[in-house]
Chains A and B, each alone.
Chain A
Amino acid sequence: MVLAAYNIGLWAQAFPFFGAERRGAPVTAFARIGKVRIRTRSMIRNPDVVVILDPQLLKSTDVLKGLKNGGKIVINSPSATGTGLGNYIIYYVDATKIALDLNLVLAGWPLVNTAILGALAKAINIPIGAVEDAVTAYLGGRGGDVNALAARKAYNEVRVIEH
């Protein structure tokens, strides 16, 4: 998403908040997108958007903590998960199914990361073409193409519920 944003004239920054966690553990990562160079580097305490890669997290973690009133939730879910949680706009897409359909699986885990980028692009008005180009350039080769397709499918399939 950093590359996609940069390629359409924006500045961006992305960073993880995890280090030694193993595959499957709940982790947090952050991204900022802006019109000028971003100087702040602290964790994001009041996000405009929360992206949830696994709806199970709603049961174990307060993933919506700090989300701005009227903010957006992008969630990997086959149904409208998250309605009634507050005054939010919900974008939901079955990224797991998209990943499985495209055989994007590693060590038994469906790789939903690139699919969810497509849904996020829809939510924050980043052209999907920029995301596809970024995914292709970043991953390269056939993996790049399949992951770009996952993003495109999610972009097309994502559904919105406005309160």
Chain B
Amino acid sequence: MIKPLTGNYAAAWGARLARVGVVSAYPITPQTTIVEKLAEFIERGEMDARIIRVESEHSALSAAWGAALGGVRAFTATASHGLLYMHEMLWWAAGSRIPLVMAVVTRTIGPPWNIWTDHSDIMGQRDTGWLIMMSEHNQEVLDSIIQMFKISEDPKVFLPGIVGLDGFILSHTTEPVDIPDQDVVDRFLPERRQPYILKPGDPLIMGNIPSDLRDNVKMRWDIHRSQERAKGVIRDVDREWAKLTGRSYGGLVERYRCDNAKYHIIGMGAWVGDMKEAVDILRDMGYGIGLVKVRYVRPFPGEEIAETLASSKGVIVFDRSVSPGSAGPLYLDVLSHAYIHGVRVPIQNVLAGIAGIDVGYDDIIGGVTMFINALEEGRWPLPSKIQWYFGGGEWWP
């Protein structure tokens, strides 16, 4: 059934179709309409679930996690400062190895107060142990929520997962979305699996002080190993979903017009659509360029990226957030994993779209041609390997 849905309603439909039993959330722009829609589904009796109302995001994740610890499929959603307030509980949820799914509607961090998208909030969660992905369009939001439950509940993984969508650019944009039939999702999603259940009458302590610190290290090692194993699960789940619905997103990355590409753009999130437009136009202009869309930030697709970049003459990584004093976080991961796999290629970082600055395909074409021309004329770097873009053609080193 195809309906016009905002990204937020697509997320709510994903949670409904996954037969989530407990929803807990605290309102924050631009997330609020996800849980509003879920509350409406539940109120109308279209969804068999309970809503737990809480006084903060810290409690929202705690309550959803508590429900998941008790053996039920649970869901929450947040954004920006709400995600920061949850940060501590993200570590507890991942460390407990309890499957759980959260939608993060990306929004910049203050000050100053600002409701528009960038990736500062979601990129700040990279070290928590959660699986983290970003969507390009509303269909991918809906499909990814359902897929994330399957990945999160796979015994090879047993980690919670975030489905990210850009605030407003997806969350409040209406476009046609195919809502899969419930029986398709039921065939795809098995009964809930989790490593243990906390229940009355069977006392179990989660997270007590370890008597041997080496056990603590092994727990952390096991999270890292499970992230690595999740790569195979993500690829399998993508293939299985494609068989049922005809929709494949490539697993951890999507390569767009990378065949015979001399240069590569790397990006993630909703502006990848504009990057695809830019690649088509640049190809028509005679630039041999391809795009790597990063779907998963964690686990990071280092192997796929290094393999694609092995034959590249130049790479430009677009980051929608920055780690001040270092560089864009996506750039840093690309750089590190290229190096780990022995790939040596000029890699330029563009910090754009920060604080919600509007970026279209013409802006992307401007940055990419500037970089490629500098490379070909021997002027790279120009003047910095990390360039800021302010919109309207204004660049600062």
Contact = CB atoms under 8 A, between A and B. Distances in A.
Interface of A: 2-3, 6, 11-17, 19-20, 38-43, 45, 138
A42 B358 contact: yes
Contacts of B3: 3
Nearest to A29: B172
B288 interface: no
B175 A38 contact: yes
Contacts of A15: 168-169, 172-174
A34 B160 CA distance: 38
A20 B358 contact: no
Given A2-B4, A19-B115, A42 B173 contact: no
A3 B4 contact: yes
A20 B172 contact: no
Q: Which are the 6 A-B pairs with shortest beta-carbon distances?
A: A42-B360, A39-B273, A15-B173, A19-B115, A2-B4, A13-B175
B360 A16 contact: no
A39 B173 contact: no
Given A19-B115, A19-B168, A40 B273 contact: yes
Given A15-B174, A16-B168, A39 B360 contact: no
B29 A14 contact: no
A108 B274 CA distance: 40
B173 A41 contact: yes
B10 to A, nearest CB: 13
B276 interface: yes
Question: Which of A39, A41, A43, A45 has most chain B Cβ within 10 Å?
Answer: A41
Contacts of A40: 273-274, 277, 360-361
A71 B244 CA distance: 44
Given A6-B2, A15-B169, A20-B29, A43 B358 contact: yes
B176 A12 contact: yes
Most A CB within 10 A of own CB, among B30, B168, B363: B168
Contacts of A16: 168, 172
B111 to A, nearest CB: 16
Contacts of A13: 173-175
Between A2, A11, A17, the greatest number of chain B beta carbons within 10 A of the residue's beta carbon is seen for A2
A39 B276 contact: yes
B343 interface: no
Contacts of B271: 41-42
Nearest to A15: B173
B359 interface: yes
A14 B358 contact: no
B270 interface: yes
A20 B168 CA distance: 12
A41 B168 CA distance: 10
A128 to B, nearest CB: 18
A14 B174 contact: yes
A40 B274 CA distance: 4
A9 to B, nearest CB: 11
A41 B274 contact: yes
A147 B311 CA distance: 58
Given A38-B273, A40-B273, 14 more contacts: A3-B4, A11-B175, A13-B174, A15-B174, A16-B168, A19-B115, A20-B29, A39-B137, A39-B276, A40-B360, A41-B273, A42-B360, A42-B361, A43-B358
Contacts of A2: 4, 174-176
